[in-house]
Chain A
Amino acid sequence: SQKIEQNSEALNIQEGKTATLTCNYTNYSPAYLQWYRQDPGRGPVFLLLIRENEKEKRKERLKVTFDTTLKQSLFHITASQPADSATYLCALLSYSGNTPLVFGKGTRLSVIA
């Protein structure tokens, strides 16, 4: 069966360091991989999308890599700040029409000042 694993349920990191979150998947061939941020009591907020034929995407302090051979995506936040503390969700989407996003369980990131 399809499976998405975000390896760490929780990650603590010191302010200013780079946070690296991992998303691995099995039995799935995604066309797109998306990362979202979710704060408590709020809906997910879209951060970045990367296509299967792309290796890396950047947006300000965020960087996403996508390795379809390893079936893995890494999500980096450089120069992390306490305001980056949230749950980060990895989500996969196939090509097929209206198929829904499939989400990982998320990693709760805490950036400590």
Chain B
Amino acid sequence: GAVVSQHPSWVICKSGTSVKIECRSLDFQATTMFWYRQFPKQSLMLMATSNEGSKATYEQGVEKDKFLINHASLTLSTLTVTSAHPEDSSFYICSARWTGGKNIQYFGAGTRLSVL
């Protein structure tokens, strides 16, 4: 199946710093990418929908100034957690939809963020 690469897989940062997470679709073009957050033993919670060349659409309750999303090309979307705090510690997962492949949505391996 199609591959979505997410980097880094694990990051520890100090409170107040910013962290950037990259998501790449390796063998297909994705006009739409999605960013999810997952807490332990809970399901995936959609944070935002990222469209190539335009502004992301954020879900209710997600601060767009804290979670900056950039989708500059058809294969790359980035999520920047700005001024991170311990409550931002979570598992972040990106996803890309392969519209040429029956609308199957492929996921990255996830990024574990720990804010000290």
- A residues whose Cβ falls under 8 Å from a Cβ of B: 31-32, 34, 36, 41-46, 49, 89, 91, 93, 98, 100-101, 103-106
- Give the distance to chain B from A63, nearest Cβ to Cβ, in Å: 18
10 additional A-B pairs beyond A43-B6, A44-B44, beta carbons within 8 Å, are A32-B102, A32-B103, A36-B107, A41-B110, A44-B93, A46-B104, A98-B49, A100-B49, A101-B105, A103-B44
- Which residues from chain A contact B93 at a C-beta distance below 8 Å? 43-44
B49 touches A42 (CB 8 A): no
A89 touches B1 (CB 8 A): no
B109 touches A42 (CB 8 A): yes
Size category of the B interface is 20 to 34
- B residues whose Cβ falls under 8 Å from a Cβ of A: 1, 4, 6, 31-32, 34, 42-44, 46, 49, 51, 91, 93, 95, 97, 102-110, 112
* CA A4 to CA B1, docked complex, whole Å: 26
B109 touches A43 (CB 8 A): yes
- Which residues from chain B contact A45 at a C-beta distance below 8 Å? 107
- Which residues from chain B contact A101 at a C-beta distance below 8 Å? 34, 95, 105
